[in-house]
Amino acid sequence: MGRLLVVDSRDLTEYAKGPSLPLLVEELCRQGHDVTLFLVENGVIAARRGAAAGIAFDALSDTGAHILADDVSCRARGIRELAPGVSPSDLDHLADKIADGFDNILWY
């Protein structure tokens, strides 16, 4: 099974296909892949605690996905509390993970 990185830089509610990204991550996890979903730029908007976007990050996390939110992007948008299942992170963390290698990187 692979080690995969999915970076979401877009607000998942901004485009019609946005909600398909968590579904993709969920399916990849169910297939046994080790998946990291890194939220950056407008990607962190859906991770605000209490956001109406309806993205079930806690359920997604339960499937084994590592869901991380970039601190700079959060601060720029006034996000102080993250939804359950999402952990605070930063680009140092992302760079460390990339240095360890992924089988594939998808940047959305």
Partner 1 sequence: MHNDDPVHKARKRVRRVAIVLSTGSYQREAPTTVLRLAEKLLERGIEVNVWAFEEAVTLTNREQIEHNEPPSLKPVLGESHAPVGRFIDQLLRAGLHGAKMDWVTCILCAQERGVEKHQMGGAIVGTLGDLWKFVGGADQVIAIPAYR
Under the rule (CB under 8 A), what is the footprint of partner 1?
1-3, 9-10, 32-34, 40-42, 72, 91-92, 94-96, 98-102, 105, 107-108
Nearest to partner 1 of 15, 84 (CB atom): 15
Q: Which residues, 6+ apart, have CB-to-CB distance to 20 below 8 Å?
A: none
Nearest to partner 1 of 34, 53 (CB atom): 34
Q: Which of 77, 89, 5, 6 is nearest to 46 (CA)?
A: 77
Burial code (b: 16+ CB inside 10 Å, e: under 16) for 54-73 equals ebebeebbeeebbbbbbbeb
Nearest to partner 1 of 10, 48 (CB atom): 10
Minimum separation from the CB atom of position 46 to partner 1 (A): 16
Minimum separation from the CB atom of position 105 to partner 1 (A): 5
